Amino acid sequence: MARTRIPPVAGGLAAAVAVVLAAACWVVFPPEIAGRALARPDVDLALPWPDEGQASAEVQGLGSLGSRGERGPVPIASVTKVMTAYVVLKDHPLAPGEAGPEITVDEQAQAESTAPDESTAPVRAGRRISERDLLALMLIPSGNNIARLLARWDAGSQEAFVEKMNREAAALGMTDTTYTGASGVEDSTTSTAEDQLRLAREVMKNEVIRSIVATRSLRVDGVPGSVVNTNTLLGRNGVIGLKTGSSTAAGGALMWAAEVRGGALVLGVVLHQNPGGSPAAGLRAALENSEKLIAAIQRELPAATR
């Protein structure tokens, strides 16, 4: 059978129509990564997104700066403690500057303070420490033993507390998040950058958390020496928080908050940086890649929003 020849003009028209249809489909059905639509940013900047892992950022009051990288849940290590603080303060709210109730350090928290291969805070059984100071010991030096102590104090057991964490995650629409412990030491606690960005949006409304995560170092009665923040970006490029995380499986992770010129608050999450290597190397990668991202936003955002 002879093949029908399409005249050049008709062929050109068909190609043009195909291009128009493809462009329309791009708008209506954006491209997908790992089976999920990649939403267009509300503020489109040329940003140095990390080459691996996943990242997401937004400007409060303006909208999304976009997301990049893998889309599935990954281990988040000590970024988990942000949800722990959120649940504790929801159950036991504190006013700005308020210390809150004193909580007795139990034998388990003391025993865990010398646990190898974990970030801990040195506390002694029987010592009474305020709720706010315990939150600081959990968020600033990332004390795993303190996270579990707060979970037991709040809910009676870490298991019961984890149920609360997952209920709050569901209420915030964090559909790709599963918490299995209060500290993040478990590799089975997984989430995505977009889900953790939802949480960052909520916790930065809390003045107590904002104040704690912006603290570079402090002293707590009964705890030797100064407590130093693991977030070394504080005070640079407008950074005012939030929380680091690192483990072999998670690599490095950082939930961050920064103020840009004009007073806008930018929130971001970088996960799964250099997974499989040492936790220290992963954390360095998360901090370095986040700093590049934040510095670029500081440069580009004011001009883009004039």
Active site positions, annotated: 78, 81, 142
Q: Is 104:85 a contact under the CB 8 Å cutoff? A: no
Closest to 139 measured CA to CA, from 193, 96, 83, 199? 83
Write phi, then psi, for 190 (nearest 5 degrees).
-130, 155
Q: Which amino acid is at 128?
A: R
Contacts of 139 (CB under 8 A, 6+ apart): 81, 82, 85, 209, 212, 213, 243
**CA 203 – CA 216 distance, rounded (Å):** 18
Structure token pair of residue 64: 């999304």
Q: Which residues partner with 150 through β-bridges?
A: none
Contacts of 95 (CB under 8 A, 6+ apart): 208
204-to-90, 127, 135, 240, 269 alpha-carbon distances in Å: 13, 30, 15, 10, 13
Closest to 83 measured CA to CA, from 201, 247, 207, 188? 201
Query: What is the widest separation between alpha-carbon atoms in the chain?
Result: 93
DSSP assignments along 5-73, one per residue? PPPHHHHHHHHHHHHHHHHHHHHHS--EETTEE-PPPSS-------SSSEEEEEETTTEEEEEEE--S-
Residue whose tokens read 């409060």: 60
